[in-house]
């Protein structure tokens, strides 16, 4: 029987810097659009929204949100990723790029209507602290959205960079414990595109 996997089972990832970081950033520009569209649809974005994109990477999801009229703050611990994001984003886009982590978001309390994390929660150092941070920066009624690829319980290597059902449900429980309401854990897509979508609303 497989032991329960931690929600952040890849917290020991070294991050993205140097030449490797640049190469990864360029790859990320080519993938991830589907998750970005899914997040924007789940959040039902409008021009009234301020999205905080946690672990924004080169900014694909941030740009999708901006094109839907939202103000966006893209947060990432990697200066390399943020440099790429700034280079490929039109200057007029309503996006602010900030270096920071999920556990210490550089955003004032109550300033956001949406906080989302796309394929990044499994890398967070302290999931409890990060969920508390999301609660802090969200205004009442704001939405927290986490999307992770579906990963088999016996997956190793790259295939394990995602969540099992147990991990998705555990994250949902953590959101409830942190004071979020209307917590939903849903499956989306199939095959290699299958993903977990966890959404919650700040009281």
Q: Is 86 exposed, middle or buried (0-12, 13-18, 19+ CB in 10 A)?
A: middle
Residue 91 lies in a domain: yes
Q: What's the rounded Cα separation, in Å, for the pair 163 and 153?
A: 8
Residue 7 lies in a domain: no
Number of domains present in the structure of the chain: 1
Residue 99 lies in a domain: yes
| Domain region containing 146 | 18-202
Q: How many CA atoms lie within 13 A of 73 on its CB side?
A: 21
pLDDT tens per residue across all 203 residues of the chain: 356 899 999 888 777 767 676 677 767 777 778 999 999 999 999 999 999 999 999 999 999 999 999 999 999 999 999 999 999 999 999 999 999 999 999 999 999 999 999 999 999 999 999 999 999 999 999 999 999 999 999 898 878 899 999 999 999 999 999 999 999 999 999 998 899 999 999 99
Residue 196 lies in a domain: yes
DSSP label of 146: E
The CATH number of whichever domain residue 54 belongs to comes to: 3.40.50.150
Residue 86 lies in a domain: yes
The answer to whether 120 and 55 are in contact (CB under 8 A) is yes
The contacts of residue 45 (CB under 8 Å, 6+ apart) are 51, 65, 68, 69, 70, 114
Residue 23 lies in a domain: yes
Residue 10 lies in a domain: no
Residue 133 lies in a domain: yes
């Amino acid at each position: 029987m497989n032991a329960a996997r931690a929600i952040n089972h890849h917290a020991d990832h070294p991050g993205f810097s140097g030449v490797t970081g640049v190469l990864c950033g360029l790859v990320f520009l080519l993938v991830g659009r589907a998750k970005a569209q899914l997040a924007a649809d789940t959040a039902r974005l409008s021009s009234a929204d301020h999205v905080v994109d946690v672990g924004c990477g080169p900014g694909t999801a941030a740009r999708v949100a901006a094109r839907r009229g939202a103000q966006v703050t893209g947060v990432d611990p990697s200066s390399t990723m943020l440099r790429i994001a700034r280079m490929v984003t039109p200057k007029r886009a309503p996006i602010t790029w900030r270096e920071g982590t999920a556990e210490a978001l550089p955003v004032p309390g109550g300033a956001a209507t949406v906080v989302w994390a796309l394929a990044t929660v499994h890398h967070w150092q302290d999931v409890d602290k990060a969920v508390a941070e999301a609660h802090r920066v969200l205004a009442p009624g704001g939405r927290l959205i986490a999307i992770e690829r579906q990963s088999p319980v016996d997956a190793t290597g790259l295939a394990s960079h995602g969540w099992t059902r147990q991990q998705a449900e555990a994250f949902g429980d953590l959101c409830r414990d942190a004071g979020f309401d209307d917590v939903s854990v849903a499956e989306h897509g199939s095959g290699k595109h299958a993903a977990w979508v966890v959404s919650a609303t700040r009281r």
